[in-house]
């Protein structure tokens, strides 16, 4: 049986790059976790990318380590909840063990993340069929579209951060594949077979509190944690996130 800590892979939100999560990465590494943060394929100006491409990337990163016996906790933020859920399907510790393989996903943490309540839905549907005011986007469901975060995203994403940090974070946001938000999921949060936790961020202006609570209500047996952060607890309250991770491991 593995005695070392699991590794952590952080699946980012839309528009974000790995370095946005550096404050959390540093705290996790100081606590003894090996941390991986990929740049999602959907976070680019390449058209036609969907959450399925992000799932493939996650698997490419974790599978060699799993084959060597490494177990993982997957932490997902915002949009990252969509590919993170799907990535666990067939890759849990138990499923891999049943297939004669080592390693696997041990647990998942939703960090104010999208936890779609059933297969067949897409992200756009979960937000009432309309994109938020802080994005520019192309006509819906036309394929090969790219969306961008506007200046209004500064408040939506970073309302509890100092102005200089807000500017740094916003200036390094990248385009995002609209197709990822308009492609129905095939594996939803209630389908998870590993321990799960949801960190509700009570002052989030992107995924409002009532939406987060609705997500939680759809997931049997999920552990619910709370904090006062906005949409980016990985910057504003990384110690609280690490505390929740410890609760999943211990």
- The CA radius of gyration of the chain, in Å to the nearest whole number, is 17
d(CA 152, CA 136): 11
The reply to whether 2 falls in a domain is no
| Cβ-based burial of 104 (10 A; exposed 0-12, middle 13-18, buried ≥19) | buried
**DSSP run (H or E) holding 4:** none
pLDDT digits (tens, 9 = 90+) for 183-203: 999 999 999 999 999 999 999
Closest CA to 55 of 79, 35, 32: 79
Asked if residue 236 has pLDDT above 80, the reply is yes
32 in any annotated domain: yes
Give dist(CA 170, CA 248) in Å, integer.
31
1 assigned to some structural domain = no
Contacts of 68 (CB under 8 A, 6+ apart): 102, 103
Helices 22-30, 238-249: crossing angle, 10 deg rounding: 50
> CATH number for the domain including 172?
3.40.50.1820
Q: Which domain holds residue 175?
A: 7-249
Question: What's the total number of domains in the chain?
Answer: 1
Q: Are 124 and 147 in contact (CB under 8 A)?
A: no
Residue range 113-166, pLDDT digits in tens: 999 999 999 999 988 899 999 999 999 999 999 999 999 999 999 999 999 999
How much is the pLDDT for 1?
38
């Amino acid at each position: 049986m593995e005695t070392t800590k699991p590794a952590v892979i952080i699946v980012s939100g839309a528009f974000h790059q790995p370095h946005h999560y550096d404050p959390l990465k540093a705290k996790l590494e100081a606590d003894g976790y090996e941390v991986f943060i990929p740049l999602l394929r959907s976070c680019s100006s390449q058209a036609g990318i969907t959450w399925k491409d992000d799932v493939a990337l996650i698997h490419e990163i974790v599978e060699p380590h799993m084959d060597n016996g490494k177990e993982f906790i997957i932490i997902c933020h915002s949009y990252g909840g969509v590919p993170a859920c799907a990535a666990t399907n067939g890759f849990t510790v138990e499923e891999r063990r049943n297939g004669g393989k080592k390693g696997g996903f041990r647990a998942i943490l939703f960090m104010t993340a999208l936890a779609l309540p059933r297969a067949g839905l897409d992200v756009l549907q979960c937000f009432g069929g309309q994109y938020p005011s802080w994005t520019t986007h192309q006509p819906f469901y036309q394929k090969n579209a790219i969306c961008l975060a506007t200046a209004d995203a500064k408040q939506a994403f970073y309302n509890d951060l100092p102005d200089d940090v807000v500017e740094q974070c916003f200036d390094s946001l990248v385009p995002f594949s609209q197709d990822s938000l308009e492609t129905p999921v095939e594996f939803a949060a209630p389908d998870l077979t590993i321990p799960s936790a949801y960190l509700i961020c009570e002052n989030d202006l992107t995924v409002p509190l009532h939406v987060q609570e609705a997500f939680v209500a759809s997931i049997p047996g999920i552990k619910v944690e709370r904090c006062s952060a906005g949409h980016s607890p990985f910057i504003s309250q990384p110690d609280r996130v690490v505390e929740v991770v410890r609760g999943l491991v211990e």
